Amino acid sequence: MRRWLSTVVAAVIGGGATAGALLAAGAVGTGKEGAAGGVRLAGAARAGGAAGAAGAALEVREIFRRAAPGVVFVRARRLPGEPTPFDAAGTAGQIEMTGAGFLIDEHGLMLTNAHVIAAATDIRVTLSGTHTVGAMVVGKDPDIDLALLRIDHGGRDLEPLELADSESVGIGDPTLAIGSPSESGRTLATGVVSVLRRRLTSASGFTIDDVLQTDAALEPSYAGGPLLDATGRVIGINSQIASGAAGVETGFAVPVDIVEGVIPQLEATGHVER
């Protein structure tokens, strides 16, 4: 069964109770910022990447240290209305969806999943150091589950992530996924690229080709966050998970090459024509 990565919390009218996560958290090696450990990634670093010389093995903790400041926590609120596939059943009141996102330039442009901010009336983004700012939607592409946002960073120095060439990704290449479960920290999951060119169907019914599959154990907090290579560059945006035999979770990420192809249209018109 394939599921979307998302966390949903709904405030119940007349009370302070909250609904649980739409998806149960999977078993994953996670930790607060700076607690990624000294494990090394196998495989050669790509030329020109953040790793330095080709063939060098980067420590996971070093990739996490460099990339984590560019990963943000996204909190989107919307009023109740027509249900979406990501709503918790039987809830009422204001709906709150949370996920991750990541910065792509120094001026406040960032990416997340379209389903994380679906029908949102208010979007807040928490940067590294628990600094929370407002965000506006520049454009959305529900077909590939992508949203382009701009934050009001108020002159704050930002640390955007570098985008890689996902065409050069191969089976067995190391992967790191960074999520943002709350304002207070980041989580980390590691694995490898297990399948290339998977075909998935988005919530809009659109078929997404060339999706990356990773065995990194993803959970809802990774929704809209980056899937990184061994140099710390983004190769995909985490979007879906699937449950297999014995409860094994498989993660799926939309390749960054597809994402880069629609960003100019989202900036120019707010949507994508197909």
User: What pLDDT, on a 0 to 100 scale, did the predictor assign at position 204?
Assistant: 78
Q: Give the dihedral of Cα atoms 31, 180, 70, 55; nearest 10 deg.
A: 50
User: What pLDDT, on a 0 to 100 scale, did the predictor assign at position 181?
Assistant: 75
DSSP single-letter state for residue 3: E
**Higher-confidence position of 256 and 84:** 256
In a domain, 95, yes or no: yes
Question: Whole-angstrom Cα distance, residue 151 to residue 111?
Answer: 11
Q: Helix, strand, or coil here: 65?
A: helix
> How many other CB atoms sit within 10 Å of the CB of residue 159?
15
Residues 257 and 165 in one domain: yes
User: What pLDDT, on a 0 to 100 scale, did the predictor assign at position 242?
Assistant: 78
Tell me: pLDDT of 248 over 50: yes
Residues 166 and 154 in one domain: no
Question: Whole-angstrom Cα distance, residue 102 to residue 30?
Answer: 18
Number of domains making up the chain: 2
User: What pLDDT, on a 0 to 100 scale, did the predictor assign at position 218?
Assistant: 87
Q: Which of 159, 175, 206 is the last residue of a domain?
A: 159
**Residue 187 maps to which CATH number?**
2.40.10.10
Tell me: pLDDT of 82 over 70: no
Q: Which of 132, 159, 186 is the last residue of a domain?
A: 159
Res. 29 pLDDT band, cuts 50 70 90:
very low
Give Dmax over CA atoms of the chain in angstroms: 59
Q: Helix, strand, or coil here: 143?
A: helix
Structure tokens at 168: 């050069």
Q: Which of 159, 189, 224 is the last residue of a domain?
A: 159
Instruction: Give all strands (DSSP E) within 25-145, no chain letters.
Output: 71-78, 95-103, 109-112, 122-127, 131-141
DSSP single-letter state for residue 259: H
Residues 143 and 197 in one domain: no
Average pLDDT over residues 222-240: 94
Question: Whole-angstrom Cα distance, residue 237 to residue 138?
Answer: 18
In a domain, 33, yes or no: no
In a domain, 42, yes or no: no
Residues 140 and 172 in one domain: no
Range of the domain at 255: 161-262
Type and span of the H or E element at 262: helix 256-269
In a domain, 23, yes or no: no
